[in-house]
Structures are given as C-alpha cells and as structure tokens.
Chain A
C-alpha cells in the first residue's frame, strides 16, 4: 500500500488503462498542454501524445457529442468536464444520446464512455459553480453514476468505469483532489455497484457518498465520544445502487440518516429512503432522517454558503434524533 492523493489515483487509473487499450483517449478543456485544470491529467500528454490526450474547445455539448460518436465507431473516450457545472451544457448529449443510444438502436451501439469531473460546491464559488448533478443524472436510465470519496475508490472505480461498456458518470470534487489515502499496489479494480462500509457501528446507519463523507467521518468521531456507534455506508456507485449493503446495515442498526450534498426534492437520498421504507419497513425503529443542502442556489458569502450546505452539526443532530437522544 502506498499513500496517494485522489489526483494521483485518478491519474494512475487513466494511465494504466490507456497503456492497456489503444482505443482509449482523453479529451476535455485544458487536459493536455495545461496538464488539467486540476492537474488530474498531469504528464499524460507527454506519455501518450496529442493523438490521445486532446485539448478541446470550450464546447461541452460538442465534445461530449464527439465522444458519443467516437464510442459508436469503436473507441473508448474519457471526456473530462472541467466541472460538472459546465457539464450541464452537455446534458443533451449525455441524456438524449449517450444514455439512449444502445436502447433505441436495439442493442447495436454500446456506449463505452466515461464523463468525469468535479461535482458540487467547492468553497465560495457561488451558485453557477456549485451544482451537484447526481440526482439529475441518476434519474436517467442508461447511465451509471459513480461518486468517489477516497484515493483507493478513485483508482479502483475509475478503472472499472473505463472498462465498462455503458456510459459512466464519474463524480469527483475540486476539494478532494489533494486528499490522501492508501491505495493498494498493483492492479486495483473495484467493481461498479459495490458499496463499502467506511466505518462499522451498531446504533445507527449513516448513508453518505462523495466529498461530504469526510464531513460525516468527523461527525462520527463526535458521536462515538458521546456513546453513539455509527455505521457509515458509502454506496460509491449510485447507479447501480448497492441496495444490499444498505439494507444489511439497516437490519443491523434499525435507524437511518441519509447525509447528502444535494437539494432535498427528488434527490438520491429520497430514492434511497424510499427503497429502505419499502424493503426494511419492519426493521425501522425511527423514521428515516435526511440531511440535505438548503433548497436555494448556493450563495457566495462564506457564512451563507456554510448555512446552505449540509453540516456536521446537522448530521449529529439528526443522528441523535433517530436515536431519540436529544
């Protein structure tokens, strides 16, 4: 095991896969000569040359669509969105074309393409640079959606995403690229659709993913000091969702808090909540609690942004509530 940043883990995943398959290429804004807006593609131009690591114009819909067409013709594109906020420009290509091509062609055109980039709020980037796209894209049949939180997951899941013959939405975070953690040496692949218990506990299940999993870990420390044992479940892949790992934890703890950086209406958390009440109704000792971000555009001012986003304190309060401890 070596300690690596998420940035390095993603970089390694792409390089290893590109070394194995000449049909993989990386395209996006600033991915080549600039070495990536967040340096995720550092060194890749030198290694693979301009044929396979390509700086795109600022045309998200255009180069996402280029990826779709290239995938139809037998290539395996990795399309980097400088952020998913800009990726919204490409939603027509992602939703109407990448997600539907195999279906509406009766299975003739698999779509081996990865759309990846940072998702969600960073810090004081204001409303148009703080969007979470996971609920919107999880809603679309035909897309797989991955949300990473650790270097190990970043590498193992990106390798699986690149090998998958379906379109995969791969959600990262600007705030996490420098996060460090152990990554297994050698070939390291994590299958899509497999969650992980990030912290074992027995009193309450907290389901969370992506960047705010780290916020949840801090809440866990506080709660455990107060005598509440928390099981932290990270689905890692939102579509397909590892329901079993969630249900198993619920059957163990009987209490659930869903902690997500999404707006609450029709979110990923609301779907998970529905699946739990449907499959584990008799197991629940308290109503499922959800901690989401405020249903407002993310504001700029530091204090307002903090209020708008889900906090460690809100999670602690919600956990205590489902444990009837406040």
Chain B
C-alpha cells in the first residue's frame, strides 16, 4: 500500500517525486487515522505527525535497509517509512491481530524486527538509551548500519537522554539523534522549560557533533541528513541534529492546542512541506498541477484501501492476552 516511485535518481540527488508522494501519503494516512478515531473505530491516544512529514521522509531517504530506527509515540509515518506496510499500521491502530504488533501495542507501539524498527515508545526520552544499545550492538557485531533515534524537543530535558548521549559520545557509537523540535512539549512552549535557546547546543555538553536544519523542507532535510549519515558510516561517531518543525494538530487528538495562536499555525502552514515540494516539482517541470492532484487522489485511495484491509481484519483471539509475556 506504499506509493510507488516511478522516477529514479542518482544516488546522491534527492528523489523529489518519491518524497512528494510519500509525504502526501503520510498526510492522508494521518488525516484518515484522525477521522477513524472521531468515528470511534478505535480509542486510546492518537498523536498525529501532520506538519512534520518532511522530517520523516527526508531522513528515510538518507537511510539504507540495514539501518535501525527507534522513535517515540508520534511514529506511525516513521514506521511506514521504515517499511512496515500501511495496512499493518492501521490494523495496529484498530487493535487487530494483523497489526504490526498483533494489536498489543497500539498507536504508540509500532514494531518490526524484520524492518529494524525498534518501536514507538511511550515514555518520553526512554528510547534514547535503547537506541544507544542498538548502536552498541552495531559496533559489537561490526555491522555497517547506523541507528536513528527520533526524540521530541521536550525529551531533551529527560535525564535518561543525557545518560544516553554521554555513552554514545564516550564510546563512539553510531547513533543519530534526530530532535524533532516542534516547539511544544505537549502544551508547554519549550522556551519555558529549557535553558538553551537552540536544542542542538545540548550536544556541546557531550563533545558530540551537532547541527540544525529546517524541517519544513524535505529536500533540505535530505540534503542535510545524507552527508551526515554517510559520514557516520565512516567515522562511527554519534551526531545530534535538531530539526525545526511544527505539528499542525494538538499534542494528541484530545488537545485543542489553545496555548498557541492561529496566526502561528498559519505561518507554518504557509511553509507547508508538501505544498513547498509540490511547487518545486511544478517549477522544475517534474510534475504538472494536474499530476499533483491525481497523486493526491491516488494517496487517498491507497489509504482507504489500507483502511478496508484493517476494517476487515480479525481482532486478536482471546487467548492472545497471555501470549508473549514470556518467550
């Protein structure tokens, strides 16, 4: 159910068409998930990635299949990007046994051992030491892979993250900390809780390579990540990159986001990653307006098809409740 890429590009130049279609697909996926939630197809927490698509796609295009990835609880799109079929992610949301965690994880806990997706995690920042453990194993087994660890801005004030970064830097472990700075830890503006004005400065305390990039532009994200990750493949050192992004929706679907102004949201929407890249495609004659519209329709159809699969899938059998507590 993934958008098919019909253009090929050189190894180091971005595949803009694929990026555009993927971002579009993730936007439509999250909107559909939101709709399904309001229709009470499922419950619990739902953290949407809408507005942050450029980060997920830009990073993913710089990765290779052997690379590992771990994230927090806003990670449906990252799970799909890492290769988990969309219908398995939707099935997981719907609590179906065909979900990528057999319906036992839900929105916050997508997993795929096969795709080296080490999960969505629900404890802010706690995925950081786990990511460092993955990178430790990469080094131990002398694999060529890197470990990507997504963290939100607010995770940068969590003690475990400091511990993890210190170990990664001290032991030269190939983990890329991608800080998706969407400016709000739930409803709290990050500037009200954080001593530094830019989160990449946290890396200074660990003598760790660091950088910052505009997360509203997918090509920019990719062009930043690709050399960063390629360098890590050689020097095996950790790196922290702060990505400046924005979520259009509240922290979760229950959050009306009254702590920020409409103007602020609109300001970011004017730099919408999908609109931006669409305009670039037209400008560079890589696509026409009609094609953009057709792809949007296609993305919506693909999501609907995934939803039909998830709708039809069975719930976990009752005896599943006691399985997997122990091996």
Q: Which residues in chain B, 93-143, are within 8 Å of chain A measured between CB atoms?
A: 99-105, 109, 111-113, 118-119, 121-123, 126, 128-138, 140-141
Q: Please, which residues of chain B bring their CB within 8 A of the CB of A51?
A: 140
Q: Are A108 and B112 in contact (CB under 8 A)?
A: yes
A65-B137 contact, Cβ under 8 Å, with A92-B126, A109-B113, A142-B326: no
Complex Cα gap A182–B134 (Å): 40
Complex Cα gap A43–B166 (Å): 27
B159 at interface, CB cutoff 8 A: yes
Return A103 CB to nearest CB of chain B, in Å. Answer: 5
Q: Are A61 and B159 in contact (CB under 8 A)?
A: yes
Contact of B163 among A62, A70, A142 (CB under 8 A): A62
Q: Please, which residues of chain B bring their CB within 8 A of the CB of A59?
A: 163, 166-167
Query: Residue of A at shortest CB range from B134?
Result: A69
B283 at interface, CB cutoff 8 A: no
Q: Which residues in chain A, 101-152, are within 8 Å of chain B measured between CB atoms?
A: 101-110, 141-142, 144
Contact of B141 among A74, A141, A166 (CB under 8 A): A74
A residues near B (Cβ < 8 Å) are 25, 51, 56-57, 59, 61-75, 77, 92-93, 96-97, 101-110, 141-142, 144, 165-166
Q: Please, which residues of chain B bring their CB within 8 A of the CB of A65?
A: 126, 128-130, 132-133, 160, 163-164
Q: Which residues in chain B, 234-261, are within 8 Å of chain A measured between CB atoms?
A: none
Q: Are A104 and B109 in contact (CB under 8 A)?
A: yes
Complex Cα gap A119–B100 (Å): 38
Complex Cα gap A165–B327 (Å): 6
Contact of A103 among B122, B135, B141, B324 (CB under 8 A): B324
B222 at interface, CB cutoff 8 A: no
Complex Cα gap A302–B279 (Å): 77
A104-B104 contact, Cβ under 8 Å, with A70-B137, A75-B140: yes
Q: Please, which residues of chain A bring their CB within 8 A of the CB of B134?
A: 69-70, 72-73
Query: Residue of A at shortest CB range from B159?
Result: A61
- Further contacts, 14 of them, CB under 8 A, given A65-B160, A96-B123, A104-B119: A57-B163, A61-B160, A62-B164, A66-B133, A67-B133, A69-B131, A72-B118, A93-B129, A102-B325, A102-B326, A102-B327, A104-B109, A107-B327, A110-B327
Q: Are A97 and B130 in contact (CB under 8 A)?
A: yes
Chain B interface main SS type: mixed
Query: Residue of B at shortest CB range from A59?
Result: B163
Return A94 CB to nearest CB of chain B, in Å. Answer: 11
Query: What are 26 sample pairs from A and B whose C-beta atoms fall under 8 A apart?
Result: A59-B167, A61-B163, A62-B129, A62-B164, A65-B126, A65-B130, A65-B160, A66-B129, A66-B130, A69-B118, A70-B134, A70-B140, A73-B141, A74-B137, A75-B140, A92-B160, A96-B123, A101-B119, A102-B327, A103-B104, A103-B324, A105-B101, A106-B324, A108-B111, A109-B113, A166-B327
B192 at interface, CB cutoff 8 A: no
Return A24 CB to nearest CB of chain B, in Å. Answer: 11
Return B323 CB to nearest CB of chain A, in Å. Answer: 7
Contact of B129 among A63, A103, A104, A141 (CB under 8 A): A63
B254-285 Cβ-contact flags toward A at 8 Å (1 or 0):
00000000000000000000000000000000
